[in-house]
Structure 1
């Protein structure tokens, strides 16, 4: 299937051949904002619903005991967090390829790309299984107590089905997002969340199954999402993007693996950065209360991050679609609109955290000691929420344009050569504890955000559009003709 020819649209939505009427900046902003929210709204709701699966499980576990809260928190943050970062990162290669192929009219290639990603991610999941199986000694080696490590390790083994659900789910999501079919994911995730909440209460609290009940409900919920999305794709054929299983899924795998690895490195370095905060906190004296407190803060930050992740998905689709269609100026303007919108929401979220810092800890724990420690950390949580309103959006721009390798190097320098050492020095050398650890790591986020702003500002967007055209031809042309 060759590229389809479509009329080139101007920024104000007119076709060539019509008299161009200049639009005011505010009107252009409003037009682009409408397109953005059409994608970001459902994407945010989907991300919130799917994140809430683990967060609700953690909440119910915390109402049973402190050790259950620590077990679920550490497994979610460290073991599943590692897998989530790898799978989401490798699946994000589809945001570049599917988005630009869709913009160029290469519809059939979307289904082929998704199947290639399944092959790669399912293979990767098999390599990650030992981390789940041997998680207790791994957690102890990085500083967790024996009690927390054994409880989290037991829960990790029960969560292996979730790992393989990740491997299928993320390519499916990128496949649907590239076509702007985001509402179906929202409805599926919302229905599953309601089911998950009821059965979590039933199994964890009412029947007293504890961690066993938590594992059953969380695994089942993730697989319900995967199965429902697959049924939608298989039944509707996704407007021609799905034409059935094909051996083409195994063609050009090495080149696909390289792009997937670049995407994974970029996003994993971001996801693991705050995950490491929980791990380092576990090395403090008497770590149970600090670990519980930081886990609650990461839970709140995670919910807020889902808003930024929704904008991340939306701007990735907008940028990749527009670059694939050759509309460089529109892609650049979309970046400006999403940045202003996301930061505005981040300011509101920060204010909410500050206003509720004495109350929200009791949603997750019945321990006064844990709640008091969480309240102290709320000031850092507020600033993290603000910074993370922009940083994931800029990462979405990078994915949509195909800059994964560049951003991976930026992340290594800012996070792991600056932020992490600064946090360790402040936390341990200067005895500032978890406040110092987190404060230093916030410095890394600040530096990375500033650099990404500069990179995005100075890029030649006409050249990016030309590179997108070349990429679509290289990845899709020969195979599509088959």
Structure 2
């Protein structure tokens, strides 16, 4: 393992050495100032974990010996942990979240687990093979020198050598060209054994130091697909639970469809979004606890967050129970408000499951078990469809049946996740319930609040637009339910792509590969355009079939088929905004994206939506036109900043952050990965 550079990093010098000087640096700082609570998360994490470790030392000798044994067992996993820079960390993932979120500012990079170390080694191996530093996995493909063969090589080969020369031009033979090409193969065309991880990592460090590592758009496209595809499947699976409920309710009538939209958006803004925002701090706490070897603290952090969320849900449940007069004051149709209040009262039953599942997701993710949630949803989602059919149609519970199915599914998902942990994988981090879960809440709340505030600020816009749609009548609110559902579903494709882009760019920046990071950003922007155009084509082509899947009411179908053209245009900007924000997060400029999002939503989208919707009487089309304009502005602002930004300084700042985390004078050199449980 290479020694960290002990020389102080001069960021200004690194900026001057950048390949492109940022013309924005004269009037726009690289990272806009934010409150200190949004930045100083590392000391808070250290405080939380050090307190728990102190509590660990006060336990009896048996527990102390057991916990320290866990730490010792983890030492073998930490051999390359500090250098596991190419692993995929889908941090702050809120599965089923239908709208882009604003990630935390400068959240600590989770300590790698053994899955991350293995993945990082494989990523290093791929790039070393692409650059012909290590032999290929198998015999190198012989490309035919035909036009079709060269085109195939250009599109699918990730090898650097295949793209160094002009791909579509026929190479002219020389005196040194062998007459029999197949008779004189290069020695690297034969498969050789894959080196051990230590040797791979050593060669990787040497190649990076010598600036020998390059990448291709084919390799980056393949990596982004590999990262984002499982997340897309999981996001869609989770959101399909909501889709099933809306589809079922839509068959009951226009008023019921409008009510479920009002209830769902109210539940999201008052409960689901705050829960997701608060739980994001576990992305750091659980991962740091696992990576440092204190695996029993992973379960403790999850317990503590679950209890905290359950306590906070008590006043929320009271508001939901008495929500009918509040909703009636916001929506003209009293019957729709009454149905929405009924839906919320039934959903109170599912509140505990929502909190437990959010904590449970982070519990398994910190251990590198990212597929656990997918497996749970593969079982839970079909069961939710069955429950909707049974309760709504078979048992005749009608609207209340759909709410009951949703509440039961919300409690079923954490139960299935517990069964997965107990029966399959992940139980090593669970040491049972502990009284310590009721202590040390202060630092955790301080760490969690910024995530909740940032996400809540953006989701509030959607609630405002839903209330505004209710002012146009029940049919318009029912149509809004359809549009929100389909746009949320379509967003579950570019949002995982943004997460994959953020992680890949952050990894390449951490490895000091700025050229490769720029190439990844370009590939991601092109991919966002492709995804946006695909979603737009689907919306336009199926503009009448989509609403017909939700309702049989002709008035609602006509409204949706007309307004969906605006939503179709929004798809391109929605994808670009998500991916550009992911790029900003990858280079450590998420504050730029955060301010751009808030400005675009509240200063552009909301005024235009209300003006076009009410003043111009465009109604639902006007509301979505404003949102489209806001997304266009935010994507333009972020892409403009990225085009003129100096990425070399991002590398210097990343190295400075790593050094400050490894050596913290304020904590007397405290390093979580080296702290032992015993005294």
- 8 Å CA contact 2:302–2:363 kept in 1: the answer is yes
Counterpart Cα distance in 1 of 2:634 and 2:291: 30
Structure 2 residue 657 is matched with structure 1 residue 467: yes
Report the alpha carbon displacement of residue 409 of structure 1 after superposing the two structures with TM.
Answer: 4.1
| Equivalent residue, structure 2, for 1:266 | 454
Summarize the Cα distance change of 1:432–1:266 in structure 2 as closer, same or farther, 3 Å threshold. Answer: same
Match of 1:135 among 315, 318, 323: 323
Match of 2:554 among 368, 375, 386: 368
- 8 Å CA contact 1:99–1:400 kept in 2: the answer is no
Counterpart Cα distance in 1 of 2:315 and 2:580: 30
Summarize the Cα distance change of 1:23–1:471 in structure 2 as closer, same or farther, 3 Å threshold. Answer: closer
- 8 Å CA contact 2:283–2:366 kept in 1: the answer is yes
Mapping of 1:22-171 within 5 angstroms? 22-30=213-221, 33-34=222-223, 36-98=224-286, 110-171=298-359
Match of 1:351 among 519, 537, 540: 537
3-state SS of 2:202 partner = coil
- 8 Å CA contact 1:262–1:404 kept in 2: the answer is no
Summarize the Cα distance change of 1:26–1:317 in structure 2 as closer, same or farther, 3 Å threshold. Answer: closer
- 8 Å CA contact 2:252–2:399 kept in 1: the answer is no
Summarize the Cα distance change of 1:103–1:479 in structure 2 as closer, same or farther, 3 Å threshold. Answer: closer
3-state SS of 1:388 partner = helix
Q: Any idea what the Cα deviations from partners look like across 1:246-273, whole Å, max 9, x if unmatched?
A: 5554565333323322112222233332
Counterpart Cα distance in 2 of 1:371 and 1:261: 41
Counterpart Cα distance in 2 of 1:471 and 1:58: 47
RMSD (Å) for aligned C-alpha atoms = 3.5
Report the alpha carbon displacement of residue 464 of structure 1 after superposing the two structures with TM.
Answer: 3.4
Report the alpha carbon displacement of residue 97 of structure 1 after superposing the two structures with TM.
Answer: 4.8
| Equivalent residue, structure 2, for 1:283 | 471
| Equivalent residue, structure 1, for 2:79 | 5
Q: Any idea what the Cα deviations from partners look like across 1:179-201, whole Å, max 9, x if unmatched?
A: 44222211211221111112211
The TM-score, its normalising length taken from structure 1, stands at 0.85
> Which region of structure 1 is more displaced relative to structure 2, 56-65 or 182-191?
182-191
Report the alpha carbon displacement of residue 149 of structure 1 after superposing the two structures with TM.
Answer: 0.8
Summarize the Cα distance change of 1:237–1:188 in structure 2 as closer, same or farther, 3 Å threshold. Answer: closer
Counterpart Cα distance in 1 of 2:288 and 2:580: 18
Q: Any idea what the Cα deviations from partners look like across 1:116-172, whole Å, max 9, x if unmatched?
A: 432332233223223312322222333442121111001110001223222121232
Counterpart Cα distance in 1 of 2:638 and 2:304: 30
Equivalenced residue count is 475
Summarize the Cα distance change of 1:469–1:262 in structure 2 as closer, same or farther, 3 Å threshold. Answer: farther
Counterpart Cα distance in 2 of 1:114 and 1:454: 40
Match of 1:186 among 335, 356, 374: 374
> Which region of structure 1 is more displaced relative to structure 2, 187-196 or 428-437?
428-437
Report the alpha carbon displacement of residue 468 of structure 1 after superposing the two structures with TM.
Answer: 5.7
Match of 1:205 among 393, 414, 421: 393
Q: Please, which runs of 5 or more residues in structure 2 have no aligned partner?
A: 1-70, 87-123, 129-199
Greater helix proportion: 1
Structure 2 residue 390 is matched with structure 1 residue 221: no
Report the alpha carbon displacement of residue 9 of structure 1 after superposing the two structures with TM.
Answer: 6.5
| Equivalent residue, structure 2, for 1:420 | 606
Counterpart Cα distance in 2 of 1:221 and 1:305: 23
Report the alpha carbon displacement of residue 417 of structure 1 after superposing the two structures with TM.
Answer: 2.7
Q: Any idea what the Cα deviations from partners look like across 1:346-392, whole Å, max 9, x if unmatched?
A: 22111111111122110011111110110001111112222222434
Match of 1:434 among 620, 626, 629: 620
Counterpart Cα distance in 1 of 2:248 and 2:84: 53
- 8 Å CA contact 2:292–2:672 kept in 1: the answer is no
Report the alpha carbon displacement of residue 106 of structure 1 after superposing the two structures with TM.
Answer: 7.2
- 8 Å CA contact 2:301–2:437 kept in 1: the answer is yes
Report the alpha carbon displacement of residue 307 of structure 1 after superposing the two structures with TM.
Answer: 2.2
Report the alpha carbon displacement of residue 426 of structure 1 after superposing the two structures with TM.
Answer: 1.9
Match of 2:563 among 374, 377, 380: 377
Report the alpha carbon displacement of residue 294 of structure 1 after superposing the two structures with TM.
Answer: 1.6
- 8 Å CA contact 1:63–1:366 kept in 2: the answer is yes
Summarize the Cα distance change of 1:370–1:429 in structure 2 as closer, same or farther, 3 Å threshold. Answer: same
Structure 2 residue 665 is matched with structure 1 residue 477: no
Counterpart Cα distance in 2 of 1:468 and 1:249: 30
Report the alpha carbon displacement of residue 241 of structure 1 after superposing the two structures with TM.
Answer: 4.5
Summarize the Cα distance change of 1:369–1:138 in structure 2 as closer, same or farther, 3 Å threshold. Answer: same
> Which region of structure 1 is more displaced relative to structure 2, 187-196 or 131-140?
131-140
> Which region of structure 1 is more displaced relative to structure 2, 116-125 or 364-373?
116-125
- 8 Å CA contact 1:328–1:464 kept in 2: the answer is no
3-state SS of 1:258 partner = helix
Q: Any idea what the Cα deviations from partners look like across 1:380-428, whole Å, max 9, x if unmatched?
A: 1112222222434455567778877765544332212322122112222
Counterpart Cα distance in 2 of 1:273 and 1:348: 26
Q: Please, which runs of 5 or more residues in structure 1 have no aligned partner?
A: none
- 8 Å CA contact 1:98–1:178 kept in 2: the answer is yes
Report the alpha carbon displacement of residue 299 of structure 1 after superposing the two structures with TM.
Answer: 0.9
Counterpart Cα distance in 1 of 2:442 and 2:583: 25
Match of 2:361 among 167, 173, 176: 173
Report the alpha carbon displacement of residue 69 of structure 1 after superposing the two structures with TM.
Answer: 1.3
- 8 Å CA contact 1:109–1:476 kept in 2: the answer is no
The TM-score, its normalising length taken from structure 2, stands at 0.62
- 8 Å CA contact 1:71–1:149 kept in 2: the answer is yes
> Which region of structure 1 is more displaced relative to structure 2, 81-90 or 447-456?
447-456
> Which region of structure 1 is more displaced relative to structure 2, 21-30 or 425-434?
21-30
Counterpart Cα distance in 2 of 1:110 and 1:471: 21
Counterpart Cα distance in 2 of 1:120 and 1:479: 29
